[in-house]
Amino acid sequence: MKGQFAPVGTSNYSFDSGSHGSGATPVGGVIGIIVFFLSVVTASFTAQVGYVIAGFVLMIFLAASIRVAAEWERVIVLRMGRYSRLSGPGLFFMVPIFEQLFRTDLRTRVWDVQPQEIMSSDSVPVEVDAVIYYKIDNPKKAVMDVEDFATASVKIAQTTLRDIVGKSDLDRLLTRKEEIGKDIQKIVDLATNPWGIKISGVEIKDVILPEMLKRAMAKEAEASREKKARLIKADAEMESAKLFAKAAETIAKTPNALKLRQLQTWQEIGAEQNSLMILIPTEFASEANAVLGAAALGKTELEKALKKKD
């Protein structure tokens, strides 16, 4: 359900009512069957039925008393309701009827924190998705000092997450997830340490923002990129203007440089254009312009004289 922690996998400790653990070989039953078979063989040679009865009773007792704990398991043994010992891993014995077993799993487990809607310090509603890694550090405390260490630890972690996120602004939530995870880990680990629980890590997987805020942030980022592009373009034009000014000074000192530049420009135009182009020398163009200007001036004066005569 949304807003709750959900432990992943099975419970970390369970009451053993006669099973031999997940995937463990029933060693006691196998040994009991062997003993019973030997008693039957002995009774067949001695013709004593008592061997069969004794073998059957011994088989039941061995099957009920011999247990096996996996490498990652520890077993709390209670005798007549009182703590007796911590057994495992490997082969161990118990007294049937008078003793009870509670198996604990020492492997690292995961609490998957479903997304929770929390208000940040700058009044932004966000959904935070986190994962908490933990393991049982002291099996005796985990079983005997707290009724349900998983639920108790979940409540502390949930409260701590809300408190840390509520004191953080949006920028910190987005850029300092690792720092927030370490803050949550320290607080939760300190609270669960008396119960024998070790918090090995807290990770903020995701911070989900409202759609409207996402669009606003996208517009802000777009405006920032456009501003940066315009500033870069303005800097380029300024540098280009400086270079053109230096080029103009160089051409002014050496007029022949302008002709060379003109020839180079014609060459570039000829390489890019496929149409026919007629090139006219600059001197000829200047003289033609002067002649045409004089002709235009003479025509204007002739028209004025004709008007006066009329």
At 182-202, the pLDDT tens digits run: 888 888 888 888 888 988 888
Confidence of residue 243 (pLDDT cuts 50, 70, 90): confident
Kindly state whether residue 113 falls inside one of the protein's structural domains: yes
Are 156 and 86 part of one and the same domain?
A: no
Distance CA 78, CA 26 (A): 21
Kindly state whether residue 233 falls inside one of the protein's structural domains: no
Rg, C-alpha atoms of the chain: 46
Are 115 and 168 part of one and the same domain?
A: yes
Kindly state whether residue 193 falls inside one of the protein's structural domains: yes
Number of separate domains in the chain: 2
Q: What is the pLDDT of residue 294?
A: 58
Q: Is the pLDDT of residue 6 over 50?
A: no
Kindly state whether residue 202 falls inside one of the protein's structural domains: yes
Helices marked H in 103-210 — which ranges? Answer: 139-144, 149-166, 170-175, 177-192
- 124, two tokens: 């932004």
Q: Is the pLDDT of residue 2 over 50?
A: no
pLDDT tens profile 50-106: 888 888 888 888 888 888 888 899 999 999 989 999 988 888 888 888 999 988 889
Kindly state whether residue 283 falls inside one of the protein's structural domains: no
The answer to whether the pTM exceeds 0.85 is no
Domain boundary among 78, 104, 130: 104
Kindly state whether residue 173 falls inside one of the protein's structural domains: yes
Q: What is the pLDDT of residue 282?
A: 56
Distance CA 201, CA 218 (A): 32
Residues 6+ apart with CB under 8 A from 102: 13, 14, 15, 16, 75, 76, 78, 143
Q: Which domain holds residue 93?
A: 14-104
Domain boundary among 213, 243, 262: 213
Are 98 and 117 part of one and the same domain?
A: no
Count of CB atoms situated within 10 Å of the CB of 164: 21
Residues 6+ apart with CB under 8 A from 272: none
Kindly state whether residue 67 falls inside one of the protein's structural domains: yes
Do residues 184 and 133 lie in contact, with contact meaning Cβ atoms separated by under 8 Å?
A: no
Are 118 and 157 part of one and the same domain?
A: yes
CATH of the domain at 203: 3.30.479.30
Domain boundary among 88, 104, 120: 104
Are 190 and 115 part of one and the same domain?
A: yes
Are 115 and 79 part of one and the same domain?
A: no
Kindly state whether residue 55 falls inside one of the protein's structural domains: yes
